[in-house]
Amino acid sequence: MIWYQEVIQQLNITELFKECQVIGAKVRAMISETMFLDIYYDPTTKSYSYSLVDLELPYKGDKRIFGWDDYPHEGVEEMKKLKSYPHHFQSRKDDKWTFEESPMRGNIRQDIEVVIRTIAEYLQGAKTKPTP
């Protein structure tokens, strides 16, 4: 089974998402007209990016609420101190990105469970600080 087919099945089971589709190289799972989960995953390199996006956020350009990825973000010194570097969880705090340890390692089957759980908690009102 191709990775995205299994991921879409898991997302659909949760009933958190109205629609899941493959758009280019990513899976987009719609929560509402303006909020969605974007999942980029490369099964060859295991590189990934899982982001919850809200188009109604007031920030210019980047509309992510939070997410996980393995991009090293050159020049962000606080990230290099993470034991999980380059794997990290990032979220906004007072209009600035904060970086934390991440359990993700590019294993889409395990990672998607954490992503779903965190988004469910966020949507249920745990909008304080998401659990990485």
Quote the number of domains for the chain.
1
* Distance in angstroms (rounded) separating the CA atoms of residues 98 and 91: 6
* Distance in angstroms (rounded) separating the CA atoms of residues 121 and 42: 27
pLDDT band at 59 (very low <50, low <70, confident <90, very high): confident
pLDDT digits 0-9 by tens, 92-129: 887 889 999 999 999 999 999 999 999 999 999 855 44
Domain presence at residue 128: no
Domain presence at residue 66: yes
pLDDT of residue 90: 95
pLDDT of residue 96: 87
Domain presence at residue 9: yes
Provide φ and ψ at 29, rounded to 5°: -115, 110
Please list the alpha-helical segments (H only) found in 15-80.
Answer: 77-80
pLDDT of residue 29: 98
Domain presence at residue 130: no
Q: What is the pTM of this model?
A: 0.90
Of these ranges, 2-6, 72-76, 128-132, the one predicted with the greatest mean pLDDT is: 2-6
pLDDT band at 34 (very low <50, low <70, confident <90, very high): very high
Provide the domain limits for residue 27. 3-123
Domain presence at residue 132: no
User: For residue 100, what is the enclosing H or E element?
Assistant: strand 96-100
Helix 108-123, helix 3-14: angle, nearest 10:
30
